[in-house]
Amino acid sequence: MKHNNELPNNHFRKTAIRFKTWFNQPARKAARKENRKNKGKKLYPMPINKLRPIVRCQTIRHNTRERLGRGFTPEECKAAGLEYTYARKLGISVDLRRRNKNQESFDQNVERIKTYMSKVTVYSDRAQARSSGAVQHKGKIMPLKKKEVIVEAIKAEEIAKLN
């Protein structure tokens, strides 16, 4: 070693310890999978997920698009013939903060609850559900179906007539 240099020893900052590593990612994935499985067993025969309302996205740019919301309003539950406390027990998500802004979406969500109720079978206990061969629903309940936009073709002469 030549010259009068300092011996190479590490001068890391104390914050170097705080670097976050992701070596536990595969283990976390396995744990999440196991938790989902255990939750399904615990909830049987109830579906794992809850029924969600159809709501419009926010702002002018996105409000033509529909998505699944957080929960139905108590008024929507009442119009469908359910108390919202009982609706929660049947796997229907209820959000007490949401407001009904127009009649169209209100009617759409009431119809959604009624359709769900026509498909639901309520058992008194798990043994009865197991003996009747009930299958637990996995995934989203009544997912949104994209409406296909129908575009009609017209001839160039017809465009000239419109102007």
pLDDT per residue as tens digits for the range 72-109:
999 999 999 999 999 999 999 999 999 999 999 999 99
Weakest mean pLDDT among 98-102, 133-137, 154-158: 154-158
**Most confidently predicted of 8-17, 27-36, 40-49:** 27-36
Q: Is residue 6 part of a domain?
A: no
The pLDDT value given to residue 6: 79
Look up the domain containing 98 and give its range.
Answer: 30-124
| Mean pLDDT of the 7-26 span | 82
Assigned domain for 49 exists? yes
Kindly state whether residue 81 falls inside one of the protein's structural domains.
yes
CA distance 42 to 105: 34
**How many percent of the chain have pLDDT more than 90?**
65
Distance CA 106, CA 100 (A): 6
61 inside domain: yes
Is residue 41 situated within a structural domain? Answer: yes
The answer to whether residue 34 is domain-embedded is yes
Q: What global pTM score does this model have?
A: 0.74
What pLDDT was estimated at residue 149?
84
Looking at residue 2, its pLDDT comes to 81
Q: Does residue 105 lie within any of the structural domains?
A: yes
Number of domains the chain contains:
1
Which residues is 92 bridged to in the sheet? 51
Q: Are 144 and 68 in contact (CB under 8 A)?
A: yes
Q: What angle do CA 35, 126, 80 make, to 5 degrees?
A: 90
Q: Does 1 map to a domain? A: no
